[in-house]
């Protein structure tokens, strides 16, 4: 009986009015049974809408109220929560936006949502120490070839076909009260962005050059420093190889992206 009641109530909360929960409750006082049930059905949608608003503030500004509400209604109906934490409720929002009109007619929308999901993932990814220039200096030369850069757990790679990150930055500045021009959505050359959380627990992101992306791919695949140098040797002329290896290593260390492991 309890199971049947819960399934019936949940059906009503999810929006199925044929669940008829009104018939299972007692008439009390001034409030109608319809109204009593609606308190729960409205609270469900309001709570999930607030969650999407919080996690996707910039996307909300980009869409405007009407489209945002349309997205929220569609997403809540199609993807009920299977998580115990609201933190993960909007995980499939980018997927929803690539599958449903009118949102999928403007692919930058899904990219914006995906970028915000990646920022959230970097925000509370696992902690791990990173190495400093001093750690690097202390490493014995014979250990360098077998050195493996261990990526910080917050590292995310994000590929864009549109100017979504530039748009996100402009909208964020706009939210913060700055006078900025929001760029028009443009199908640009594919870009790759690196997102991570630094040791001050601030989330950062930067665009990667093709060779920087290649280095990060090598690191994520646990390739050794010798492997990375070999790859770089095919990219840079011999006379500038060493200085470029140094430049790339400095980029990894100065941005607090890796720790050193044998």
Partner 1 sequence: MTSLTHIDVPKMNENFLGFGLGLRSQHYDYILSNQPTVDWFEILSENYMVDGGKPLYYLDAVAEQYPLVMHGVSMSIGSTDELNWSYLEKLKTLINRVKPRWISDHMCWTSANQINSHDLLPLPYTEDTIEHLVNRIKQVQDYLEQPILLENVSSYLTYRESNTTEWEFLNEITRQSGCLLLLDINNIYVSARNHGFDAKTFINEIDQTSVRQFHLAGHSDFGTHVIDTHDHDVCQSVWDLYDHALDRFGAVSTMIERDDNIPDFPELLAEMEHAKQIANIKGIFLDNHA
* Closest CB to partner 1 among residues 10, 136: 10
Residue in 62, 68, 75, 89 binding partner 1, rule: CB under 8 A: 89
199 counts as binding partner 1 under rule CB under 8 A: no
Which residues, 6+ apart, have CB-to-CB distance to 126 below 8 Å? 153, 154
Residue 235 CA to residue 261 CA, distance in Å, equals 25
- The least distance separating partner 1 from the CB of residue 233, rounded to whole angstroms, comes to 36
Stretch that binds partner 1, among 54-62, 76-84, 106-114, 184-192 (CB under 8 A): 76-84
24 binds partner 1 (CB under 8 A): yes
d(CA 82, CA 42): 19
| 18 near partner 1, rule: CB under 8 A | no
Residue 181: both structure tokens together: 């021009």
Q: How far is the CB of 44 from partner 1 (least distance, A)?
A: 6
Burial class for 217, CB neighbours closer than 10 Å (0-12, 13-18, 19+): middle
Q: Of the candidates 15, 36, 150, 227, which one interacts with partner 1 according to CB under 8 A?
A: 36
Cα separations in angstroms, 19 against 12, 27, 33, 45, 81: 5, 18, 13, 17, 19
Tokens of 30: 């001034």
Which residues in this chain contact partner 1 in the complex, by CB under 8 A?
Answer: 1-3, 5-7, 9-10, 13-14, 24-26, 28-31, 33, 35-37, 39-40, 43-44, 47-48, 51, 80-87, 89, 123-128, 153-154, 197, 201
């Amino acid at each position: 009986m309890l199971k049947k009641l819960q399934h019936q109530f949940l059906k009503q909360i999810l929006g199925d009015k044929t669940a008829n929960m009104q018939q299972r409750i007692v008439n009390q006082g001034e409030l109608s049974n319809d109204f009593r049930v609606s308190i729960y059905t409205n609270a469900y949608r309001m709570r999930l809408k607030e969650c999407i608003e919080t996690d996707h503030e910039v996307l909300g500004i980009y869409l405007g109220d009407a489209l945002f509400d349309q997205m929220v209604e569609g997403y809540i109906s199609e993807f009920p929560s299977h998580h115990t934490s609201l933190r993960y409720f909007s995980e499939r929002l980018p997927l929803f936006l690539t599958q449903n009109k009118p949102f999928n007619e403007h692919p930058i929308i899904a990219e914006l949502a995906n970028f915000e999901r990646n920022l959230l993932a970097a925000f509370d990814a696992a902690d791990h120490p990173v190495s400093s220039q001093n750690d690097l200096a202390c490493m014995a030369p014979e250990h360098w070839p077998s050195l493996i850069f261990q990526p910080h757990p917050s590292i995310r790679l994000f590929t864009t076909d549109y100017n979504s990150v530039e748009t996100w930055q402009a909208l964020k500045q706009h939210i913060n009260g700055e006078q900025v021009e929001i760029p028009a959505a443009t199908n640009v050359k594919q870009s790759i962005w690196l997102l991570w959380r630094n040791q001050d627990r601030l989330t950062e992101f930067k665009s990667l050059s093709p060779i920087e992306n290649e280095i990060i791919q090598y690191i994520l695949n646990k390739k050794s420093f010798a492997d990375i140098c070999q790859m770089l040797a095919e990219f840079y002329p011999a006379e500038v190889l060493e200085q470029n290896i140094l430049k790339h290593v400095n980029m990894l260390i100065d941005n607090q992206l890796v720790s050193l492991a044998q």
